[in-house]
């Protein structure tokens, strides 16, 4: 999904999990480009997966927006990025099923994908992949937030 409007918001996200499944956390930074104002948030679950935490971070970030916005999403999660920009259309067309060995099987994390789909209908989202653990300051901070949030559940 790409934005036709000027980007107003940068959303940086990351998820982490100790074991997969295991205790995990998510972290995000929302930055309003016009004012420079930033908000950080994090949370987690006792028994989750890394992909769920990656998705939860994006959902939580978009939920915090008070009105429709043009958002550039920065994430190291190929799963989230490709799901949002490539796979979701066919999943929806197939009633939230995906092809696996020529069979349709349920999409993993369907509950979060449905939430993300609803939020993506409100906002204009541009996906930008950030290499994980590459020194990108906001990605590193989101990782710190996610790891700390997950540690609360160990």
34 is catalytic: no
Catalytic residue, from 8, 60, 72, 143: name it.
Answer: 143
Total domains, the chain: 1
83 domain residue, yes or no: yes
- What lies within 8 Å, CB to CB, of 83 at 6+ separation is 55, 113, 116
Catalytic residue, from 19, 38, 110, 133: name it.
Answer: 133
How confident is the model over 56-114, as pLDDT tens digits?
999 999 999 999 999 999 999 999 999 999 999 999 999 999 999 999 999 999 999 99
**pLDDT category of residue 2 using cuts at 50, 70 and 90:** very low
Catalytic residue, from 8, 14, 45, 60: name it.
Answer: 14
54 is catalytic: yes
1 domain residue, yes or no: no
CATH number at residue 29: 3.30.420.10
Average pLDDT on 103-130 reads: 96
Domain that holds residue 99: 9-151
143 is catalytic: yes
Catalytic residue, from 15, 25, 27, 61: name it.
Answer: 15
- In degrees and rounded to multiples of 5, residue 24 shows phi and psi of -145, 170
133 is catalytic: yes
136 is catalytic: no
3 domain residue, yes or no: no
Average pLDDT on 37-48 reads: 97
Catalytic residue, from 45, 60, 76, 138: name it.
Answer: 76
**Total-model pTM:** 0.94
């Amino acid at each position: 999904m790409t934005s036709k409007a000027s980007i107003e918001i940068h959303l940086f996200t990351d998820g982490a999990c100790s074991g997969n499944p295991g205790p995990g956390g998510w972290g995000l930074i929302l930055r309003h480009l016009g004012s420079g104002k930033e908000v950080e948030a994090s949370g987690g679950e006792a028994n989750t997966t890394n992909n769920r935490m990656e998705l939860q971070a994006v959902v939580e970030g978009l939920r915090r927006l008070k009105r429709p916005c043009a958002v550039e999403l920065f994430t190291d999660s190929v799963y989230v990025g490709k799901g949002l920009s490539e796979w979701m259309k066919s999943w929806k067309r197939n009633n939230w099923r995906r092809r696996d060995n020529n069979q349709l099987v349920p999409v993993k994390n369907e509950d979060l994908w449905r939430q993300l789909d609803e939020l993506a209908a409100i906002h204009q989202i541009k996906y930008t992949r950030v290499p994980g653990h590459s020194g990108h300051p906001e990605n590193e901070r989101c990782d710190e937030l996610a790891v700390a949030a997950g540690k609360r559940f160990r």
